Amino acid sequence: MTDVTGLTVGVLGGTGPQGKGLALRWARAGIKVIIGSRSSQRAEATAAELGEGTTGADNPTTAAAADVVLVAVPWEGHGDLLTSLRDQLRGKIVIDCVNPLGFDKQGPFALPVEEGSAAQQAEKLLPESRVTAAFHHVSAVHLVDLSIAELNTDVLVLGDDRDATDVVRALADAVPGMRGVYGGRLRNAHQVEAFTANLIAINRRYKAHAGIRITDV
C-alpha cells in the first residue's frame, strides 16, 4: 500500500461542493490539505469553515505548495486554469475530477470534448505533469455530511502512470468507506466522466445520492 500520510494535497476549486467535500474528508484522515480558489480570501474562509488543519490560498500558490493537486473546478474554466498553472504543476500528480456535462429540460447529458475528455485535455495542457482522473462519482452531499461515517463508494482511478494511479488509489482508500479501484487508461476517461450524467438521472428517479461499487474486485 502506497503511503500518502506525508503528502500535501492542493484542491483547485476547493470552495465548490466536490472540492470542499473531498478536502474535508482528507483532512479528517490526517492528510495536509490546501484549499485553492481564484480568491485567496474565499479559500481562507472555506479553510476556516472546514477546520481540521486545512489552509487556504489562491490557485497558483496552492498548486505550487502541493504534492498532489485535485482539479475540481467547473468545466467552463478548466482549460484556461490549467494552462495558467503549467509551471506550478510540473512534475506533480494531477487528479482531474471534472465532469463536462450539460443540462436541458430532459435532464443531464455529456458534453463533447475535443480532446476526448476533461482528463485528456488536462494531459494535453500539462505534458510535464502526471495526470490521472478520479473522484467523479462521489456525492458532494455525502462528503460534507459528517453523520455519514463511512461513504460506501468506490473511486475509479484512471491513468497511464502506474505509480501515480497507485498514489491516487491510496488517497481514496484513506477515506473511511471509500475504495480506490484502477479503472483503465486515460483514453477511457470520457465514459467515466460522462457516466455522472447517468448518476444524476438515477438520483432524480430514486431520490438518492448514488455512487458505484465494482463487484468481484
The grid coordinates listed for 136 are 467523479
In sequence order, what are the residues at sequence separation of 6 or more whose Cβ sits closer than 8 angstroms to the Cβ of residue 102?
Answer: 108, 109, 110, 111
- Rounded CA-CA distance 88/141 in Å is 30
CB of 51 to its own copies, least distance (A): 27
Number of chain residues interacting with its own copies (CB under 8 A): 40
Can you tell me which of 63, 71, 110, 131 binds its own copies, judged by CB under 8 A? Answer: 110
158: contact with its own copies by CB under 8 A: yes
Task: Examine residue 190 and tell whether it contacts its own copies (CB under 8 A).
Answer: yes
Is the CB of residue 158 less than 8 Å from the CB of residue 132?
Answer: yes
Cβ(114)–Cβ(139) below 8 Å: no
140 touches its own copies by CB under 8 A: no
Backbone angles phi, psi at 144, to 5 degrees: -85, -5
- Is residue 165 a contact partner of residue 182, using CB atoms and an 8 Å limit? yes
Q: How far, in Å, CA of 186 to CA of 179, rounded?
A: 19
Does residue number 39 form part of the binding site for its own copies (CB under 8 A)?
no
End-to-end CA distance of the chain: 16
- The C-alpha cell at 30 is 490526517
**How far apart are CB 90 and its own copies at their closest, in Å?**
25
Is residue 147 part of the contact set for its own copies (CB under 8 A)? no
Binding residue (CB under 8 A) for its own copies from 156, 164, 174, 178:
156
Residue 38 vs 209, nearer CB to its own copies? 209
* Min separation Cβ 192 and its own copies, Å: 6
State yes or no: residue 152 binds its own copies (CB under 8 A): yes
The stretch near its own copies (CB under 8 A) out of 5-13, 65-73, 84-92, 179-187 is 179-187
Question: Residues in the site for its own copies, rule: CB under 8 A?
Answer: 106-110, 139, 142, 152-153, 156, 158, 181-185, 187-188, 190-192, 194-195, 197-199, 201-202, 205-206, 208-217
